[in-house]
Structure 1
Amino acid sequence: MSIDLPRGDTAWNHLTGYDHKALAGIVDTVIVMAYDEHWQGGPEAGSVSGLAWTEEGIKQYLSYGIPRSKLMLGIPFYVREWQLDADGKPVASRAVYMKEVPKLIAERGAKGTLDRESGQMKYTYQKDGSTYVFWAETEQTVKQRIELAKTYDLAGIAAWRLGYESADLWTTLLRLK
Structure 2
Amino acid sequence: DGINIDFENVADEDRDRFTQFIRNLTTTLKKQNLIISIDVTVPNETPSWSHCYDRKELAAIVDYVMVMTYDEQWATSTPGAPVASLPWVEKNLQKTLQEVPANKLFLGVPFYTKRWEHTEEQGKVTAKGKTFFMEDVNAVIQTHNIQPQWRSDYGLSYLEYEEDGKYYHIWVESKDSLALKTALIHTYQLAGAACWRLGFETPDIWPLLP
> Normalising to structure 2: TM-score of the pair?
0.75
Q: Please state whether the residue corresponding to 1:96 is helix, strand or coil.
A: strand
Q: 1:83: which partner in 2?
A: 117
Q: 1:7: which partner in 2?
A: 42
CA drift at 1:73: 0.1
Q: Please state whether the residue corresponding to 1:48 is helix, strand or coil.
A: coil
Pair 1:163-2:194 in alignment: no
Q: Cα–Cα, structure 1 residues 115 and 13, in superposed 2: closer, same or farther, change >3 Å?
A: farther
The within-5 A match list for 1:121-136 is 121-136=157-172
CA drift at 1:130: 1.6
Matched residues in 1 for 2:71 and 2:169: separation? 16
Pair 1:68-2:102 in alignment: yes
Q: Which has the higher contact order (CA 8 A, sep 6+)?
A: 1
Q: Which ranges of structure 1 fall in alignment gaps of 5 or more residues?
A: none
More moved, 113-122 vs 125-134: 113-122
Report Cα offsets for 1:54-90 as digits up to 9, x if no partner: 00011000112x1111000010000100001245421
CA drift at 1:119: 1.6
The one-letter code matched in structure 1 to 2:154 is: S
Q: Cα–Cα, structure 1 residues 141 and 34, in superposed 2: closer, same or farther, change >3 Å?
A: same
CA drift at 1:18: 1.1
Matched residues in 1 for 2:46 and 2:70: separation? 16
CA drift at 1:4: 0.8
> Normalising to structure 1: TM-score of the pair?
0.88
* 1:38 and 1:44 in contact (8 A); partners too: no
Matched residues in 2 for 1:89 and 1:8: separation? 27
CA drift at 1:146: 1.1
Q: 2:149: which partner in 1?
A: 113
RMSD: 2.0
